[in-house]
């Protein structure tokens, strides 16, 4: 028997270039679905859910909804809240107060864990609802799924930057360190190498957090490549550390998920190699632009992000729950994929490192297997920037009336 009621969707964690594509995929799928009577957006993710800051997505202009598909960053706003037990109980109150029978949450492994907890609580609360996680992370570290929407576009930007900044370093004959996101996993850093258009193209060295090297080895690597090319570009993950040494961090602060703020590796490593090699070194930290520079979006990534959003809605109304939508790879070349599903327990709080065998023995580059895996995810699209600057569209976010008392969250 079909479950009728309202739905809530939220965006969580670090935004990506394509997270709005997933949102739009879900909204447009829900247009034609009788089971979903009202479709609410949680403003600033979990924060909005707990505080009843909900907007009516069916009242958004359909043209704006369609346009939002290509707008980077989280159009509903996002948050990094890691819900504790009281938060989950509050979430259930909100679901009941607004007759919410469907919950969709777009995020990474921490967000899928939150999603799973909601699903579990719903079961014990005698409130029938279907909960579906939608994958998203530029870090590409979600398990089970072949890749995570958001990764391909960030990878394309990182690779593009390495090509360009390599030309700049070549003109001076300097060393250049490029710092790339990805936390504990080196997918994004490796991607910068995967797109190398020629064997001598930058980056010449790529250090992923999965394999540690010594100071001596890295300096020796850089010397060798500098002698060979007359310049050298080194791509390094923000989570990089030398063998036997701690990671570099810019701050003692941690976010609500308990993660420290990484970053600052490029500047530090640049100083290390300038001294060690005796050649001037510069550095660039790709920073937040990796997850929002839409001009270099990947078309495959945009398509996959949209598809996981659409399928989340379709499968939820068909009765599936406690699942995350996945991407399944059918073929490498030509690249073929389709959506699948996995139980939330398989992905919640888990993360996938780059396999050791996809990194070369010296630990300073990725292998052909990595390239075969990664390259199709970075396929280009026509740039939207050719006619000058136009204003990004925005949701109106017309808010729904609150039914509950104010929520004072315990930190």
Residues tagged active-site: 139
Nearest approach in angstroms of CB 120 to a copy of itself is 28
Write a three-state SS string for the chain: CCCCEEEEEEECCCCCCCHHHHHHHHHHHHHCCCCEEEEEEECCHHHHHHCCCEEEHHHCCHHHHHHHCCCCCCCCCCCCCCCCHHHHHHHHHHHHHCCEEEEEEEECHHHHHHHHHHHHHHHHCCCCCEEEEEECCCCCCCCCCCCCCCHHHHHHHHHHHHHHHHHHHHHHCCEEEEEECCCCCCHHHHHHHHCCCCCCCCCCEEECCCCCCCHHHHHHHHHHHHHHHCCEEEEEECCCCCCCCCCCEEEEEECCCCCEEECCHHHHHHHHHHHHHCCCEEEEECHHHHHCCHHHCCHHHHHHHHHHHHHHHHHHHCCCCCEEEEEEEEECCCCEEEEEEEEHHHHCCCCCCCCHHHECCCCCCECHHHHHHHHHHHCCCCCCCCCCCCCCCCCCCCECCCCCCCCCCCC
Give how many residues touch a copy of itself by CB under 8 A: 59
Binding a copy of itself by CB under 8 A: which of 6, 21, 73, 145?
73
Dig out the tokens for 184 from the structure: 């504990």
Residue 171 or 405 with smaller CB distance to a copy of itself: 171
The total of other beta-carbon atoms located within 10 Å of residue 384's CB is 12
Tell me whether residue 334 or residue 388 sits nearer to a copy of itself (CB atom).
388
Q: Does 74 bind a copy of itself (CB under 8 A)?
A: yes
- Determine the Cα–Cα distance for residues 116 and 361; give it in Å rounded to an integer: 38
Binding mask 362-401 for a copy of itself (x = CB under 8 A): ----------------xxxxxx-xxxxxxxx---------
Q: What is the dihedral of CA 138, 44, 94, 404, to 10 degrees?
A: 170
Which structure tokens are listed for 88?
Answer: 């989950």
CB of 85 to a copy of itself, least distance (A): 25
Q: Does 345 bind a copy of itself (CB under 8 A)?
A: no
The reply to whether 163 sits near a copy of itself by the rule CB under 8 A is yes
Name which position in 123, 282, 352, 409 contacts a copy of itself (CB under 8 A).
Answer: 282
Output the smallest distance, CB 382 to a copy of itself, in A: 5
Nearest to 151, CA basis, from 354, 382, 310: 354
Torsion region of 5: left, alpha or beta (phi above 0 gives left; psi -120 to 50 gives alpha): left
Of the candidate spans 34-42, 81-89, 160-168, 339-347, the one that interacts with a copy of itself by CB under 8 A turns out to be 160-168
Q: Select from 8, 49, 71, 348 the one that contacts a copy of itself (CB under 8 A).
A: 71
- C-alpha 240, offset from chain centre: 19
Task: Establish if 293 lies at the interface with a copy of itself (CB under 8 A).
Answer: yes
Applying CB under 8 A, does 72 fall inside the site for a copy of itself? yes
Cα–Cα distances in Å, from 144 out to 22, 43, 148, 163, 344?
19, 29, 10, 31, 10
What minimum distance in Å lies between the beta carbon of 1 and a copy of itself?
Answer: 38
Q: Name residues contacting a copy of itself, limited to 191-220 (CB under 8 A).
A: 195-198, 201
Nearer to a copy of itself, 158 or 348 (CB): 158
Residues 76-135 that bind a copy of itself (CB under 8 A): 77-79
Would you count residue 11 as binding a copy of itself (CB under 8 A)? yes
When binding is defined by CB under 8 A, the residue of 132, 147, 155, 161 that contacts a copy of itself is 161
**In this chain, which stretch among 31-39, 106-114, 165-173, 346-354 interacts with a copy of itself, using CB under 8 A?**
165-173
Nearer to a copy of itself, 33 or 295 (CB): 295
Smallest gap from Cβ 203 to a copy of itself, in A, equals: 13
**Per CB under 8 A, 278 contacts a copy of itself:** no
Question: Does the protein bind a copy of itself through residue 247 (CB under 8 A)?
Answer: no
Residue 172 touches a copy of itself, criterion: CB under 8 A: yes
For residues 12 to 51, the per-residue mask of contacts with a copy of itself, x marking binding by CB under 8 A and - elsewhere, is ---x----------------------------x-------
Segment contacting a copy of itself (CB under 8 A): 181-189, 278-286, 310-318, 341-349?
A: 278-286
Q: Shortest gap between Cβ of 201 and a copy of itself (angstroms)?
A: 6
Chain residues binding a copy of itself by CB under 8 A are 11, 15, 44, 71-75, 77-79, 159-161, 163-165, 167-173, 176, 195-198, 201, 250, 267, 282-285, 287-289, 291-296, 378-383, 385-392
């Amino acid at each position: 028997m079909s479950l009728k009621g309202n739905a809530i969707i939220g965006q969580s964690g670090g935004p990506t270039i394509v997270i709005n594509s997933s949102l739009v995929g879900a909204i447009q799928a829900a247009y034609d679905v009788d089971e979903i009577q009202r479709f609410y957006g949680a403003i600033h993710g979990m924060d909005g859910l707990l505080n009843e800051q909900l907007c009516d997505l069916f009242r958004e202009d359909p043209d704006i909804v369609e346009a939002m598909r290509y707008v980077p960053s989280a159009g509903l706003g996002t948050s990094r809240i890691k819900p504790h037990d009281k938060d989950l109980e509050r979430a259930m109150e909100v679901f009941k107060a607004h007759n919410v029978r469907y919950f969709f949450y777009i995020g990474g492994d921490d967000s899928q864990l939150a999603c799973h907890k909601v699903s579990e609580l719903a079961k014990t609360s005698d409130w029938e609802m279907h909960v579906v996680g939608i994958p998203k992370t530029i870090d590409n570290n979600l398990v089970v799924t072949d890749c995570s929407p958001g990764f391909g576009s960030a990878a394309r930007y990182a690779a593009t930057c390495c090509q360009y900044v390599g030309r700049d370093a070549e003109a001076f004959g300097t060393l250049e360190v490029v710092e790339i996101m990805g936390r504990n996993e080196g997918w994004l850093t490796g991607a910068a190498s995967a797109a190398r258009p020629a064997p001598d193209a930058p980056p010449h060295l790529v250090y992923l957090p999965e394999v540690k090297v010594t100071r001596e080895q890295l300096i020796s690597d850089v010397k060798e490549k500098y002698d060979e090319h007359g310049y050298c570009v080194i791509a390094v993950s923000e989570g990089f550390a030398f063998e036997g040494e701690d990671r570099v961090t810019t701050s003692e602060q941690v976010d609500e998920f308990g993660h420290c703020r990484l970053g600052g590796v490029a500047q530090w490593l640049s100083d290390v190699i300038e001294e060690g090699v005796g050649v001037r070194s510069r550095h660039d930290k790709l920073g937040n632009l990796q997850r929002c520079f839409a001009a270099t979006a990947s078309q495959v990534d945009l398509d996959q992000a949209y598809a996981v959003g659409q399928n989340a809605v379709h499968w939820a109304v068909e009765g599936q729950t406690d699942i995350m939508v996945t991407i399944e790879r059918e073929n490498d070349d030509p690249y073929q994929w389709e959506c699948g599903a996995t139980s939330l327990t398989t992905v919640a709080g888990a993360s996938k490192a780059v396999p050791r065998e996809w990194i070369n023995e010296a630990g300073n580059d990725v292998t052909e297997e990595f390239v075969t895996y990664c390259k199709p995810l970075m396929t280009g699209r026509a740039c939207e920037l050719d006619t000058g600057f136009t204003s990004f569209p925005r949701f109106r976010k017309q808010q729904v009336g609150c039914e509950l008392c104010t929520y004072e969250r315990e930190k």
